[in-house]
Amino acid sequence: MVPSPYLVAPGKKFKLTDCPTDDTGPFKDKHDAKRPTQDSLKKLDKLQEVLYAQAKHAVLIVFQAMDGGGKDGAIEHVFAGVNPQGCSVASFKVPTPLESAHDFLWRIHAATPSRGMIGIFNRSHYESVLVERVKDLAPEKVWSKRYDHINHFEKMLADEGTTIIKFFLHISWEEQKRRMEKRLADPTKNWKFSAADLKERKRWDAYMEAYTDAMRKCSTEAGPWYVVPADHKWYRNWVVSDTIIRTLESLDLQFPPPLKDADKIKVR
């Protein structure tokens, strides 16, 4: 499989601010990408059917982004056609008192997919080295150790049959502003807006630094990170679907052997 241009190469130098947010790859515009994207979604549906039937591999897909980055939209669009029976979505918000009484990976491990399933994380265990770091919710001596814990956790999942794909949906400062203004102007969308979003926006540089460290330290063979240009929603959707498809195609996906003597069974 040819490496994606958006892969954060394990062990290499990396800086998030060097990554484009408005790239459109081989496409001139969204009309040019419409048919390839539709074809990708159909292919994903077929691959997921085999994944579910074979029940040999699990696939964990992690989505992270700044506010307005498009996690919900990407999940809704890319997975709209798959069988919901073989797909689950977990959203990780502020830990509950019970979750806070355990280690930071306790609630994460419980939500990982079983074999045959695609598990989608809308935010993830990386919040513990992002939000908790930027907002000083945990001291450096605590969050600085978590990169190794995350790598060991993901390596264990991979060794046990889980394929991991991690996406950072990368939007620009200017695009985030446009999306926030659009939310405020639309009565059906401004429920998504919170005054806290503006406080988080002021921490933009701190988040870029935290994301850079998280991806540089935790993009591994077992759990690669992809920085997806997300200023254009249509291109974001194509990159995400194409990356998932190429990953699934690299697995040994096959339908189970045919039922023996199925032609001799009489249905009455």
For the chain, percent of residues with pLDDT exceeding 90: 87
**What's the whole-model pTM score?**
0.95
Band (219; pLDDT cuts 50, 70, 90): very high
The separation between the first and the last C-alpha atoms of the chain, rounded to the nearest angstrom, is 48
Pairing type for strands 118-122 and 162-170 reads unpaired
Cβ atoms within 10 A of the Cβ of 268, count? 2
Confidence (pLDDT) at 146: 98
Band (190; pLDDT cuts 50, 70, 90): confident
pLDDT digits (tens, 9 = 90+) for 106-140: 999 999 999 999 999 999 999 999 999 999 999 99
Confidence (pLDDT) at 263: 81
Question: In the predicted model, what is the mean pLDDT of the chain?
Answer: 95
Confidence (pLDDT) at 121: 98
Return the H-helix or E-strand segment holding 99: helix 97-100
Residue 7 is classified by DSSP as B
Taking the C-alpha atoms of residue 208 and residue 29, their distance in angstroms, rounded to an integer, is 28
Taking the C-alpha atoms of residue 7 and residue 45, their distance in angstroms, rounded to an integer, is 24
Q: How do the domains of the chain map onto residue ranges?
A: 16-253
Confidence (pLDDT) at 2: 63
What's the CATH code, domain 16-253?
Answer: 3.40.50.300
pLDDT digits (tens, 9 = 90+) for 30-87: 999 999 999 999 999 999 999 999 999 999 999 999 999 999 999 999 999 899 999 9
With both helix axes pointing from N to C terminus, report the angle between 146-159 and 204-218 in degrees, rounded to the nearest 10: 50
Q: Which residues fall within 8 angstroms of residue 154, CB to CB, at 6 or more apart?
A: 164, 218, 220, 222, 223
Q: Which of 87-91, 144-148, 262-266 comes out lowest in average pLDDT?
A: 262-266
Quickly list DSSP for 145-207: THHHHHHHHHHHHHHTTEEEEEEEEE--HHHHHHHHHHHHH-TTTGGG--HHHHHHHTTHHHH
What would the two tokens of residue 20 be?
A: 């484009």
Phi and psi at 136, nearest 5°, equal 55, 40
Phi and psi at 169, nearest 5°, equal -85, 105
Confidence (pLDDT) at 1: 60
Confidence (pLDDT) at 98: 97
Question: Residue 3 pLDDT more than 80?
Answer: no
Phi and psi at 228, nearest 5°, equal -95, 120
Cα four-point dihedral sign 253, 257, 262, 267:
negative
Taking the C-alpha atoms of residue 43 and residue 104, their distance in angstroms, rounded to an integer, is 36
